Structures are given as structure tokens and as C-alpha cells.
Amino acid sequence: MEKVSQEEINRILWKACDTFRGAVDAADYKNYILVMLFLKYISDVWQDHYKTLKNELGDNEELIMRRMNRERFKLKHEYCFTNIYEQRDEANIGEIINIALEYIEEENKQKLDGVFRNIDFNSEANLGQTKDRNKRLRNLLDDFNDAKLDLRPSRIGTLDIIGNAYEYLISKFAAGAGKKAGEFYTPPEVSTLLAKILAPTSGERICDPTCGSGSLLIKCGNEVSDNNFSLFGQENTGATWALCKMNMFLHNMDRAQIEWGDTINTPKLIEDDKLMKFEVVVANPPFSLDKWGADTAGDDPYNRFYRGVPPKSKGDYAFISHMIETITEDNGRVGVVIPHGVLFRGSAEGKIRQHLIETDNLLDTVIGLASNLFYGVSIPVAILIFKKGRKSDDGVLFIDASKDFADGKNQNKLRDIDIERILNTYKSRETIDKYSYLAQIAEIRENDFNLNIPRFVDTFEEEAEIDIDKVQCEIEQIEEELSDVRSEMKQHLEQLGINN
């Protein structure tokens, strides 16, 4: 049996989006597409396994269902995609889909509790009045019923194809979601760079406190050579949290603990009434978040802001402080994406920055990236790496990778060669002319703890020396040619009887 290719699945799924384009905002319809993909996948797998047992056990339905209850996800025929598809012309098709999702969530409560609570296939506000809504849902079901969209393991080979298709759709939605895109998706190249820098190893716990759809967590997990790692995350937006939960299952990372809530004001990753500790903490938090909770930060029960309370209109250092307080003492490391203002803004942020560098000796590396790498964010960004257990003379490595990227029509992109160059420099900690500089704490102190990269990495390019005599000769030659042209024009005008 010919296996379905990644490209074919991606093409079918992207075509399914045509059902909603122009009628429903991409920020809303992405949830319908991604939930339908999840439903189609678990249905195809369940029915495939049922058919295998049916061939093996015959008509012993009780024994078959007893065995099926041990499946990764519990289902019934009436709630599988194929049965829903057969009812596509029913007047209450939206309600039929909702009932199926409610059953699946209830029967798989430990894994899927709350995952579908933010999705309503019978919503008039999102999908239109009954006639239009039913037409859209029927078209959606038709698209997902494509014979080539057969998601049984025997047809797709590995679960990676489904996970990749899910990521493909999320990236496509992010590309069209404007500023909101940065809230739920980190470009895969940046995720790869962060994962390789932090280099999670076997036995480690990995956390993203602002995990979005989970792509960054998954990249970090993929860096571990075996399955002996644990993923943890927290996401504030309910719909995005649900996407992340499904994303984990579709990447075969079922044990991931993903919590829903505000990381700063209501951290959910708690152990023995204290913040849970991780070897690796990575995040692309919302840039300069306003009203992040400064009013109550002084009474924080976890004492995360003892270095200082960040300004209430810019929550960058609130997330950085949280991340640092959740890493292990011996080998903990943090990788965080930030806007450049975090490097040099003064007042409260300046004091926090000074404490992190001078008192705690936690800052390890500052990496400047190109502009327009992130969906909906055209400004250049930077990556900060913090580490526990640093020596007093380790210094801080500055890397200016702002000129290394592939120029895209709508979005710039880090290339493999760019990622490799950053990684090699990070590992060697070498000073490279016009690219990197290993600064000691004393030098940073002299700069008043301003981490603006051009203060440490000289990227000034000297202009070529000008030959004055040669330029003067060229000017004289041009003036002579211009005089000849003017004389010729005057003669032509006189012949035509036109006064100059």
C-alpha cells in the first residue's frame, strides 16, 4: 500500500482552510481546522485497531471493546469521524460534532480535560447563521474525507507526519495572524537555535512558562537522544493551551504537563508549595507586556522579584525573573527571546540587569538576531542565555548575528549556515572581528550595565579611501563633456529659430 506523503497531507489540509477564508477570521478558524485534524487522526487510528481486533477475535464484541479500552484514546464508532461524515447533511451537524467532542473529552478526561471547551462547531457568532454554518461544516467534512487523508499508521508510516502537518498548519496560520501570531508561535528556526544552545540531555526536565502552541518545547524534547525527559509548560490563552495539548499528543509526547493560566500571577507548575525546578527553561514571552501584575509583585509568595519589580508597562523582566527562579542550582540554564529594549532600558530594569550580572553572575550570552524573523514582529530581537554555576571570570559573550539571514518576501529566515555559525561561536566563546566579543564583567560595569550589542561588537565598516586627484579629473572631464553638449544644443536651437 502506497504511503501518503507529507506534502500531500499538507496540501489537503491547507485546501480545507478555503472553507473559512474570507468568511471567518484566521485567528478563529485555525481552531476548527486543527481540532478536526486531531479528531480525524484519533478516529482513523481507533478504527484501524478495531478492524485488526475484529479480524482476530471475530464477533466477540465484548472482548474487542475491552481490548479497545486500553487504546491511547477511548472512542466509540458513533463518535468517530466517519460516522460524523455520514451525517454531514443533517440540519444540526454542528451540534453533532460538539456532542462527539464532548464524549471524547469525557472518556479521556485525564488526557483531554478542557481541551475542547473553547471550540463550538455550532457557533453562530463564529461560523454564521444555520444555512451558511451547515454549508461550511459540510465542506470542511468533505475536505477531511479525502481518500488521501488516510491517517492510519499503515498509511502515514510514523506519527511525525501528523505532528509535522499540525506544525505546518500552525505556521501557516501564524503567517496570517499579524501581531497576534507571536503570542502562540515561535519560528521553527529560532526554536531550533534555542534548543541546540540549551542542549537538553537525558533525564532533564524542560519547561516553557509561556508555551503557546508548544513548538519550542517540542524542539527541545527532540534534542534529547532518548525518551528520558519531561516537558512542562503553561499558557495563558485557553484556545492556545488546547492547541498545545493536542500538539503534544500528535508529537507522541503524551506525558507533557501543560497547564492553563497566567504564569506570573498564578503559576501552576508547583511542587511542595514551591516553584517547580527545571534544568532547562526556555521561552518566547510576550514582548513588553503591559499590566502584567506589578501592583502585587512586591508580595509575591515565591519571592521572584527580590532583584526589583519591573515597570508595570513592560513585563519582560517579570518573565525573566520567573524563569531564573525555576532553574536548578547546579546545571540550570535559561534561554529567552527578548526585544532589544531589555538590553539597555534604565531605572528598575537597569537595576535588575545589574543584579543579574554583577551580583548573581548569571548572564552568559547575548545574541542579536535580524529583524522581521518573527510573525507579526518586524523589530530585531535578541536571545539571552542565563546559567547557574558560572565561574567569576567566565565573562559574557556577545554575538551580533543581525546580518545573517535569508531575505524573504514577507518574513526573513535563519538559514542552517546562520544557526551553525551562532552555535559554533557560542561553544567556542571566541572573539571574532565584526561578529562576537567575550566581555568581562568589568567592561560591562564600565558601560553602566548597558548590554547594547554595538557597545561590545564593533560592526563599523571603514569606507574605502578616496583618490582625490582621480575624482577631480573625473569631475573636470564631466564638466568638459557637459560644455560640449550645451554648445551643441545651442546650435540646434538657433537652427530651429528658438531663442536660448
Question: What pLDDT, on the 0 to 100 scale, is given for residue 385?
Answer: 98
Q: What is the DSSP letter of 254?
A: T
Its CATH architecture, for the domain 179-455, is: 3-Layer(aba) Sandwich (3.40)
416-450: pLDDT as tens digits: 999 999 999 999 999 999 999 999 999 999 999 99
**Three-state SS for 252?**
coil
Low-confidence ranges of the chain (pLDDT < 50): 181-182
Can you give the pTM of this predicted structure?
Answer: 0.88
Which residues does 134 contact at the CB level (< 8 Å), separation at least 6? 91, 93, 94
Domain 6-158 has CATH 1.20.1260.30: yes
Question: What pLDDT, on the 0 to 100 scale, is given for residue 4?
Answer: 77
- 3-state SS, 185-196, equals CCCHHHHHHHHH
Helices and strands (H, E) in the chain, number of each type:
20, 11
Question: What pLDDT, on the 0 to 100 scale, is given for residue 181?
Answer: 44
Contact 111, 249 (CB under 8 A): yes
Question: What pLDDT, on the 0 to 100 scale, is given for residue 481?
Answer: 86
The residue ranges of every structural domain in the chain are 6-158, 179-455, 468-500
285-342: pLDDT as tens digits: 999 999 999 999 999 999 999 999 999 999 999 999 999 999 999 999 999 999 999 9
- Positive or negative, the Cα torsion across 371, 374, 378, 380? negative
